[in-house]
Chains A and B, each alone.
Chain A
Amino acid sequence: GAVVSQHPSRVICKSGTSVKIECRSLDFQATTMFWYRQFPKQSLMLMATSNEGSKATYEQGVEKDKFLINHASLTLSTLTVTSAHPEDSSFYICSARRGGGAEDTQYFGPGTRLTVL
């Protein structure tokens, strides 16, 4: 199966700092990657769609100036949480889309647990 990695797996930071999370597709090229957030016992929430070489598309209610997304290559997308606050503490998960047409599939990274003190 396809492999997607995320780094770091866990981060604890002070309020006001910025945190960068990397998402890599290790064995396939992903023109599209997605960033999700999940609070405890809640559903996955799509934050944004990241397309290689172009600006990300953010879901309604997600602040694009706070959650900076860069998709500089076909195997790497980054999410930067700027000026993090305790309410940003969550489980951030990326996924990468492989293939195209009717049988394309998304594979998830292992997630990054962010705790803002």
Chain B
Amino acid sequence: QKEVEQNSGPLSVPEGAIASLNCTYSDRVSQSFFWYRQYSGKSPELIMSIYSNGDKEDGRFTAQLNKASQYVSLLIRDSQPSDSATYLCAAPGAGTALIFGKGTTLSVSS
């Protein structure tokens, strides 16, 4: 069965630091990967998608994909307290549904 693994955290970083969130996946044929942010009591919000090896940058967020190592990460530069949330990594599962990791809780202290 396909799996997506994340460290549950909590990951604590000071304001202004770089937060690094990691995710591994079991299916070598997965072609697309997604990072969602979920604030407490809210639904997940898509923040990044990545389909090719290497880096993809969007503002303060950089997603990194290494298909050979089956590893995808999310870097958040200049972390802000408003970035405090649970970050979910996802990859396609069987059929059309995404498989989600359990999420990493990030806490940014001011």
Contacts and interface: CB of A to CB of B under 8 A. Distances in A.
Interface in B35-79: 36, 41-46, 49, 51
A104 B46 CA distance: 12
Contact of B97 (A49, A103, A107): A49
Given A44-B88, A106-B46, A97 B34 contact: no
Interface of A: 1, 32, 34, 43-44, 46, 49, 57, 91, 93, 97, 102-111
21 contacts: A1-B46, A32-B96, A43-B100, A43-B103, A49-B95, A57-B95, A91-B41, A93-B44, A102-B32, A103-B32, A103-B49, A104-B32, A105-B34, A106-B34, A106-B46, A107-B46, A108-B44, A108-B45, A109-B43, A110-B42, A110-B43
Contacts of A111: 42-43
Contacts of B43: 91, 93, 108-111
B42 A97 contact: no
B73 to A, nearest CB: 19
B31 interface: yes
B102 A105 contact: no
A10 B45 CA distance: 19
A43 B102 CA distance: 5
Contacts of B96: 32, 49, 97, 104
Contacts of A57: 95
B98 interface: yes
- Main secondary structure on B side of the interface with A: loop
A22 to B, nearest CB: 15
A91 B34 CA distance: 22
A104 B98 CA distance: 11
A72 B89 CA distance: 30
A109 B46 CA distance: 11
A105 B48 CA distance: 10
Nearest to A57: B95
B104 to A, nearest CB: 12
Nearest to B100: A44
B44 A102 contact: no
A93 B96 CA distance: 17
